[in-house]
């Protein structure tokens, strides 16, 4: 048998099912599989990237409340609108507005070298501490503020550093163009644009509405400036610890000016002190002294138990247990109601209150709003302090302003009720439509109101308030000098609240003006006296003389026409100006 051998070149042809086109097809399949794999990897990478972005969005909008609540400016109708609307005075003068700004923040997770980044930032922003910056940049957080309200130059320099993880946030800074002028009225908003005091807090929701319409207040910047200037000068001249004042429209209840000193600049919240933050006008409650005698007289006249010429025995002090009610400079005779007001007799006021009775006094105080907080649109509101058990002794001391504590705003609103025809209206800081008065309730008759205007004018013409005269304007009012409570619970004879509350023009009143100076010290100018007649009455006179023309009230008397009345007041000696 013959054996046959085959070489590779002469071997039989391969099976077509496992060679030729089959090999080419396998290569193509491998390429397709590789392509699919690459697409899956690329898709996964994109999915991961978008996942990180989505997480970041959730983190800064839902997890981090500080970032979420930032103010944002937007453009509508071609106008730039901020997250918070402006606040303006009654004439459209801006009191609070928004300023576009940027803040610097960082994502510490993206900061590669916290120490180097902190040093670089500190060189651009030297007011920041490098160690504090390093701690923030090394934190396990996704968001941290580094500095608010950068200047354009600071933003440019930070951007030039090129540090990954540093970013800028567009926002709004609240700006108060008038500085401290109306600080206790406006209040302020915090860094996140949230109202935390004053009007900013009360109307926080309204100011955040998208309408962008400014909030118009009743305040008149011109009148506010006069009031603040005169009170500040009195504080300095008499070395007082503070002062407060109000100008109130008696017809509408609108507050044209309200000042509490010391005050603060809301543009610099870090410089505020607790004393400066305290609003003496609406939050502080005080025994008002002899200004309350106006309410005692009004209650008696309105109840019909007396008229302006009814006599009361003021010959001797009133003795109650171990206490005595005495006059500062006693006249030792019977006094009419008019004389009790003119000479500010404590004894006479107590006698009137006894005739009126405790129930009558309490009812009248309730009608003129002295037993509850005012309706003013401020969160800083003080509640009156009055006896839980209203005894006869309380009735007598309240008659001349001790034993019932109210805010200066209560006093201004109460006197407005006495002179405006007898209607008690809620006070307001919001501008009312022209000619529209706030709804009110009758508290006393129009006849009683007319009698009170005459009594108040007599106090200025011949009584303790002579220094409140203003050339061209007939002023009526009442002085008040109250001893403050001392640390031991008794009254401190040298710690006085000296005040004057007046209305003008008194024949047809338009405005009430109140000035109160806290712990003034008498000087040569006042012959050592620190009473309301010497300290506060002249302040009101100067205010009236300045704001009268501003408010469209032309002088009706020639200069010097009231000199005779002033001279009559002065020639009665120190007794009349000091006894209040």
* ∠ Cα 237 512 197 (to 5°): 75
pLDDT digits (tens, 9 = 90+) for 39-51: 777 777 777 777 7
For the chain, give every residue range classified as CATH 3.40.710.10.
Answer: 223-578
Beta bridge partners of 319: 324
Verify whether residue 74 is a known catalytic residue.
Answer: no
Token readout for 488 is 């031991």
- Please give, one letter per residue, the 3-state secondary structure of 87-139: EECCCCCEEEEEEEEEEEEECHHHCCCHHHHHHHHHHHCCCCCHHHHHHHHCC
Tens place of pLDDT for every residue, the chain, 580 residues?
Answer: 444 433 444 444 444 444 555 555 666 677 777 777 777 777 777 777 777 676 766 655 554 444 444 444 444 444 445 578 999 999 999 999 988 888 899 999 999 899 999 999 999 999 999 999 999 999 888 899 999 888 889 999 999 998 999 999 887 889 999 999 999 999 999 888 899 999 999 999 999 886 678 999 999 999 999 999 999 999 999 999 999 999 999 999 999 999 999 999 999 988 889 999 999 999 999 999 999 999 999 999 999 999 999 999 999 999 987 889 999 889 999 999 999 999 999 999 999 999 999 999 999 999 999 999 999 999 999 999 999 999 999 999 999 999 999 999 999 999 999 999 999 999 999 999 886 887 899 999 999 999 999 999 999 999 999 999 999 999 999 999 998 876 666 677 778 999 999 999 999 999 999 999 999 999 999 999 999 999 999 999 999 999 999 999 988 864 444 444 444 444 333 333 344 4
Query: How far, in Å, are 82, 205, 347 from residue 76 at the CA level?
Result: 10, 20, 67
Domain with CATH 3.90.1310.10 in the chain: 69-110+139-175
Tell me, what's the pLDDT at 573? 38
Whole-number pLDDT of residue 24: 56
Residue 301's region, left for phi above 0, alpha for psi from -120 to 50, else beta, is alpha
Question: Three-state secondary structure along 162-199?
Answer: CCCCEEEEEEEEEECCCHHHHHHHHCEECCCCCEEEHH
CA angle 133, 170, 115 (to 5 degrees): 15
Evaluate whether 442 touches 425 at the Cβ level (below 8 Å).
no
Cα gap 81→213, rounded to integer Å: 10
- CA–CA distance, 501 with 523 (Å, rounded to integer): 22
- Quote the pLDDT of residue 172: 82
Distance CA(354)–CA(188), nearest Å, equals 47
Both tokens of 528, joined, read: 């050592």
The answer to whether the CB of 231 falls within 8 A of the CB of 261 is yes
Contact 304, 356 (CB under 8 A): no
Structure tokens at 535: 């300290």
Element housing 348 (H / E) = helix 346-356
**195-197 and 188-189: which strand pairing?**
antiparallel
- Residue 193 confidence (pLDDT): 84
pLDDT of residue 561: 44
477 by DSSP, 3-state: which? strand
pLDDT, position 25: 60
**Which DSSP symbol is given to 473?**
B
| DSSP-based three-state secondary structure for 308 | coil
The pairing of strands 334-336 and 405-406 is: unpaired
Q: Domain 223-578 sits in which CATH superfamily?
A: DD-peptidase/beta-lactamase superfamily (3.40.710.10)
- Which helix (H) or strand (E) segment holds residue 512: the answer is strand 511-518
Give me the architecture of the 69-110+139-175 domain, per CATH.
Alpha-Beta Complex (3.90)
Active-site residue (options: 290, 344, 499, 569): 290
453 neighbors 509 (Cβ within 8 angstroms): yes
> 0.85 cut: is pTM over it?
no
Q: How many residues does the chain have?
A: 580
């Amino acid at each position: 048998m013959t054996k046959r051998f085959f070489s590779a070149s002469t071997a039989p042809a391969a099976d077509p099912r496992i060679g030729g086109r089959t090999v080419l097809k396998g290569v193509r399949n491998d390429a397709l599989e590789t392509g699919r794999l690459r697409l899956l990897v690329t898709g996964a990478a994109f999915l991961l990237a978008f996942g990180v972005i989505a997480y970041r969005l959730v983190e800064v909008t839902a997890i981090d409340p500080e970032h979420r609540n930032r103010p944002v400016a937007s453009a509508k109708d071609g106008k730039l609108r901020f997250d918070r609307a402006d606040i303006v005075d009654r004439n459209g003068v801006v009191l609070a507005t928004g300023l576009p700004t940027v803040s610097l923040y960082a994502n510490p997770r993206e900061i590669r070298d916290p120490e180097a980044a902190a040093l670089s930032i500190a060189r651009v922003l030297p007011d920041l501490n490098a160690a504090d910056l390093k701690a923030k940049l090394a934190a396990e957080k996704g968001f941290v503020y580094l500095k608010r309200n950068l200047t354009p130059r600071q933003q440019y320099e930070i951007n030039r550093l090129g540090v990954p993880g540093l970013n800028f946030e567009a926002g709004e800074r609240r700006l108060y163009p008038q500085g401290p002028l109306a600080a206790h009225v406006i209040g302020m908003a915090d860094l996140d644009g949230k109202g935390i005091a004053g009007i900013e807090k009360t109307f926080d929701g309204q100011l955040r509405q998208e309408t962008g319409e400014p909030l118009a207040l009743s305040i008149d910047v011109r009148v506010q400036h006069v009031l603040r200037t005169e009170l500040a000068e009195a504080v300095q001249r008499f070395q007082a610890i503070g002062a407060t004042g109000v100008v109130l429209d008696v017809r509408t209840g609108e507050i044209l000016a309200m000042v509490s000193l010391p005050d603060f600049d809301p543009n610099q919240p870090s410089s505020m002190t607790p004393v400066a933050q305290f609003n003496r006008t609406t939050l502080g409650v005080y025994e008002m002294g002899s200004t309350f005698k106006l309410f005692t007289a009004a209650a008696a006249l309105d109840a019909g138990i007396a008229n302006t010429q009814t006599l009361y025995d003021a010959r001797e002090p009133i003795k109650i247990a171990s206490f005595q009610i005495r006059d500062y400079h006693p006249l030792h005779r019977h006094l009419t109601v008019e004389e009790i007001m003119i000479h500010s007799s404590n004894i006479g006021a107590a006698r009137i209150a006894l005739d009126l009775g405790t129930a009558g006094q309490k009812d009248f105080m309730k009608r003129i709003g002295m037993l509850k907080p005012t309706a003013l649109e401020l969160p800083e509101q003080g509640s009156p302090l009055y006896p839980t058990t209203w005894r006869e002794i309380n009735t007598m001391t309240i008659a001349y302003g001790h034993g019932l504590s109210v805010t200066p705003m209560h006093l201004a609103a109460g006197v407005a009720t006495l002179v405006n025809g007898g209607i008690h209206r809620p006070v307001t800081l919001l501008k009312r439509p022209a000619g529209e008065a706030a709804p009110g309730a009758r508290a006393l008759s129009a006849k009683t109101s007319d009698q009170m205007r005459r009594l108040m004018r007599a106090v200025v013409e011949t009584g303790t308030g002579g220094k409140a005269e203003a050339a061209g304007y007939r002023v009526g009012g009442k002085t008040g000098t109250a001893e403050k409570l001392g640390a031991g619970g008794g009254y401190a004879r040298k710690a006085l609240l000296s005040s004057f509350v007046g209305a003008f023009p008194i024949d047809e009143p338009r405005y009430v003006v109140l000035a109160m100076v806290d712990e003034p010290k008498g000087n040569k100018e006042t012959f050592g006296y620190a009473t309301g007649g010497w300290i506060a009455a002249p302040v009101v006179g100067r205010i009236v003389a300045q704001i009268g023309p501003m408010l469209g009230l032309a002088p009706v008397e020639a200069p010097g026409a009231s000199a005779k009345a002033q001279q009559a007041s002065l020639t009665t000696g120190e007794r009349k100006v000091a006894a209040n």
